[in-house]
Amino acid sequence: MPAAPDTVFDAPTRKILPSTAVLRVGLFRHAETVQGAERLCRGQADVPLSAVGARQSEAAAAWYRAHRPAPDRVYSSDLVRCRELAEALTAPLTLDERLREQSMGAWEGRSWRDLTEENPALTLDYWRDFVHARPPGGESYGEVYRRVAAWWGERPEVDGRIVIVTHVGVARALICLWLGLGPEAALRWAPGYSSLTEVLLAESGAVLERFGFDAWAS
């Protein structure tokens, strides 16, 4: 597959656009972690990739290098499960803890099954209002959305090409933010391990070009 061509606007389109600057974003979710097949509440625990995940991460980076122009910058969560893919893209890299997964506090490292059996009412209340409810000692998803939005508003790029390597919760927040949706819509998006979502961003709006592409993940 050839590299995606740069967007070219015809003269009538240029006249009506507030700006012809286009930022091309490649959004990766990290690859499979150890115990990735289990429904664990990982949160910000710095868990490593599984053997499968290491292969996924290497393959995803190789595909991107072969099929896309080199990004101007890669932004990544500083947790190891994201860094391995981010570093393999061999582009200028910025690590930022604001791209970490949602902090799940005392629930981190535990299975959702055990949490539900131990305190079904508390777990059910969390999922009924995940935007506002906080796990014990953790943060709500609304807080994740706001920290991700603050980070996004600080980056300098309005044109060019960047890659973001992060976690499913942050990826969901970014997609909602770009499409003008609130955090309550986050669970509509479920990108898989090591998958790539590509978005064009301009002053006139966002275009979701590709969602959850993962041909290398098997």
| pLDDT at res. 3 | 40
**Is 110 a member of any domain?**
yes
Whether the pLDDT of residue 199 is over 50: the answer is: yes
CATH number at residue 137: 3.40.50.1240
Asked if pLDDT for residue 2 goes beyond 90, the answer is no
The segment with the largest mean pLDDT, out of 50-54, 108-112, 146-150, is: 146-150
Residues 208 and 181 sit within 8 Å (Cβ to Cβ): no
With a cut of 60, say whether residue 4 has pLDDT above it: no
Query: Contact at 8 Å (CB) between 104 and 130?
Result: no
Q: Annotated active-site positions, please? A: 30, 101
> 13-23 pLDDT, tens per residue?
555 555 568 99
Mean of the pLDDT values across residues 68-77? 97
Report the number of distinct structural domains present in the chain.
1
218 belongs to a structural domain: no
How does DSSP assign 64-123, residue by residue? HHHHSPPPSEEEE-SSHHHHHHHHHT-S-EEE-GGGSPPP-GGGTTEEHHHHHHH-HHHH
Chain centroid to CA 2: 24
Average of per-residue pLDDT values in the chain: 91
Q: What is the pLDDT of residue 177?
A: 97
Given this model, what pLDDT does residue 1 score?
A: 34
Instruction: Name the nearest CA neighbour of 69 among 48, 91, 51, 49.
Output: 91
Cα(103)–Cα(217) distance, integer angstroms: 26
Average pLDDT over residues 153-160: 94
Give the residue numbers spanning the domain of 203.
11-213
Q: 41 lies in a domain? A: yes
Q: In the predicted model, what is the mean pLDDT of residues 90-113?
A: 95
> Does residue 4 lie within any of the structural domains?
no
What is the C-alpha to C-alpha distance for residues 100 and 158, in angstroms, rounded to an integer? 23
Contact predicate 157/72, CB 8 Å:
yes
In a domain? residue 2: no
In the numeric block, the tokens 């990766």 are attached to 28
Distance CA 77, CA 150 (A): 15
pLDDT tens profile 103-142: 999 999 999 999 999 999 999 999 999 999 999 999 999 9
Q: Report if residue 22 sits inside a domain.
A: yes
Indicate whether 119 belongs to any domain.
yes
In a domain, residue 120? The reply is yes
Q: In sequence order, which ranges of the chain are alpha helices (DSSP H)?
A: 11-16, 51-67, 80-88, 112-118, 120-128, 141-154, 168-178
Strand order in the sheet with 196-202: 93-95, 73-76, 160-166, 23-29, 196-202, 205-213
